Amino acid sequence: MARLGGWTGYRVGKWRHELRRQQRWLVIELEPTPGAQRQCTGCGQAVVAIHDWTMRRIRELPVFGAPVELHVPRLRLACQGCGPRLEQLDWLDPHARVTRRLADSVARLCAVTSVLHAARWHGIDWKTAKAIDWRALERDLGPVDLEGVRRIAMDEFAIQKGHRYATVVVDVERKRVLWVGRGRSRVEIRPFFERLGPARCARIEAVAMDMNTAFDLEVRQHCPNARVVYDLFHVVAKYGREVIGRVRVDAANQLRHDKPARRVVKRAHWLLLRNPRRLKEAEHIRLDEVLAANRPLMTAYVMKEQLKALWNAPTAWAWRAAWKQWLRHAQESGIPALTHFAQCLKPYWRGILSRVRWPLHTGLLEGINNKIKVIKRIAYGYRDDAYFFLKIRAAFPGVG
């Protein structure tokens, strides 16, 4: 058992089963192996003399389904250099209540499930599980490396159902989270640029973002050489809400005396918002029927596809032609919601054109947005920003 346990410096004294809350526990009493090589936690030097010890109860990985508790006389060595100091052990961290092996298992579980579930699985307190996960994340992630960052994306997200916000900054090239901070105002995102420092700020070439934020002003203030690139994902989402949503509601209202036709239009909402390439054949037919029956809806839908195409223009020249055409179509559409949307979009043309020169893959922002939602759902109930932000960093640790 001692060899399986690998409790260096200790051997198994007695062991027994104990019934606790109708569960069979395995309690193992360890005792210091006489004459073992021991190391001081202070200086790392080999020390022979033992100063004193305190009995500790330490949780270990379960054996054959039974929870395991170790009784460990934790030694303080009489180090000549440091005085009384804890013994350095490779299987138990100073002041830890669980072995390193159990901690590793908890941290691995926390990567795929909630802290609460990980804690329940091992029968430990959720605060203990969270502390373990926190330490493991900090150890694995290390400090953020800000060297060589050239292209970034910034995005905001809600922490609590639209009440509190946070901002995430991502290195687009290496697909890693550089910074997460509370808030979304200029002042609240400033610490990121301050940490980056003037020299590294000057090396930023492009910043992708949603156009409805205060980020662009702050970027211009700190990063003299950066181009702001508006993110397709946000523009299309806004178009879906403000144009397609509006046109669909109007269409349904016009059909209020024709209930079956109205239902068809109402149900078509998600068909209209989805990527047409992902639709099944039957869904395509339904979509075509809805569009044929409603001209404004058809227009709004086609204009959405053309709007998306602006982000894929091969050259600035092709972009300009497509942009002018899109604006003209929007103005001539006779659809107030579309005309209004186009008017609002117009001043942002530089940031859309920038996409041609700086093809930042903004699918990354969409991916991070979705991942944050998942993390939020899993971690529900733990209102701890720092831990939440650490989990976001861990989800995008980077490549290369």
List own/partner pairs for 373-377 with CB under 8 A and 24 or more apart. Answer: 376/159
The CB-of-73 to Zn ion minimum distance in angstroms stands at 20
The CB-of-6 to Zn ion minimum distance in angstroms stands at 24
Measured torsion, CA atoms of residues 199, 202, 207, 209, in degrees rounded to the nearest 10: 70
Q: What is the C-alpha separation between 297 and 183, in angstroms, rounded?
A: 37
**Considering beta carbons, is residue 31 or 90 the nearer one to Zn ion?**
90
Contact yes or no for 66/25 (Cβ under 8 A): yes
**Considering beta carbons, is residue 49 or 282 the nearer one to Zn ion?**
49
The CB-of-49 to Zn ion minimum distance in angstroms stands at 11
**Considering beta carbons, is residue 79 or 360 the nearer one to Zn ion?**
79
Q: Which stretch binds Zn ion (CB under 5 A): 72-80, 98-106, 332-340, 386-394?
A: 72-80
Least Cα distance to 333 among 246, 275, 262 occurs for 246
**Residues counted in the chain:** 400
Contact call for residue 79 and Zn ion (CB under 5 A): yes
Contact call for residue 78 and Zn ion (CB under 5 A): no
Contact yes or no for 12/5 (Cβ under 8 A): yes
- Binders of Zn ion among 14-53, rule CB under 5 A? 40, 42-43
Q: What is the DSSP string of 317-351?
A: HHHHHHHHHHHHHHHHS--HHHHHHHHHHGGGHHH
**Considering beta carbons, is residue 6 or 83 the nearer one to Zn ion?**
83
Q: Which stretch binds Zn ion (CB under 5 A): 62-70, 74-82, 144-152, 207-215?
A: 74-82
Q: What is the DSSP string of 77-134?
A: EEETTTEEEEBP-SSS-TT-SB-HHHHHHHHHHHTTS-HHHHHHHHT--HHHHHHHHH
The CB-of-53 to Zn ion minimum distance in angstroms stands at 17
The CB-of-33 to Zn ion minimum distance in angstroms stands at 20
Contact yes or no for 79/40 (Cβ under 8 A): yes
Reading the block at residue 24, the tokens are 């069979």
Q: Scan for tokens 């804690």, then name that residue.
A: 119
Q: How many residues form the binding site for Zn ion (CB under 5 A)? A: 6
Q: Which stretch binds Zn ion (CB under 5 A): 73-81, 242-250, 284-292, 383-391?
A: 73-81
* Near Zn ion by CB under 5 A: residue from 61, 82, 158, 214: 82
Measure Cα distances from 62 to 65, 78, 329, 389 in Å: 6, 34, 68, 31
The CB-of-43 to Zn ion minimum distance in angstroms stands at 3
**Considering beta carbons, is residue 43 or 375 the nearer one to Zn ion?**
43
The CB-of-47 to Zn ion minimum distance in angstroms stands at 7
Contact call for residue 81 and Zn ion (CB under 5 A): yes
**Considering beta carbons, is residue 86 or 208 the nearer one to Zn ion?**
86
Q: Which stretch binds Zn ion (CB under 5 A): 57-65, 79-87, 256-264, 287-295?
A: 79-87
**Considering beta carbons, is residue 87 or 210 the nearer one to Zn ion?**
87
The CB-of-94 to Zn ion minimum distance in angstroms stands at 13
Contact call for residue 337 and Zn ion (CB under 5 A): no
**Considering beta carbons, is residue 80 or 315 the nearer one to Zn ion?**
80
Reading the block at residue 140, the tokens are 């694995």
**Considering beta carbons, is residue 42 or 183 the nearer one to Zn ion?**
42
The CB-of-42 to Zn ion minimum distance in angstroms stands at 4
Q: What is the C-alpha separation between 280 and 85, in angstroms, rounded?
A: 68
Q: Scan for tokens 């901070």, then name that residue.
A: 181
Note the residues at the interface with Zn ion (CB under 5 A).
40, 42-43, 79, 81-82
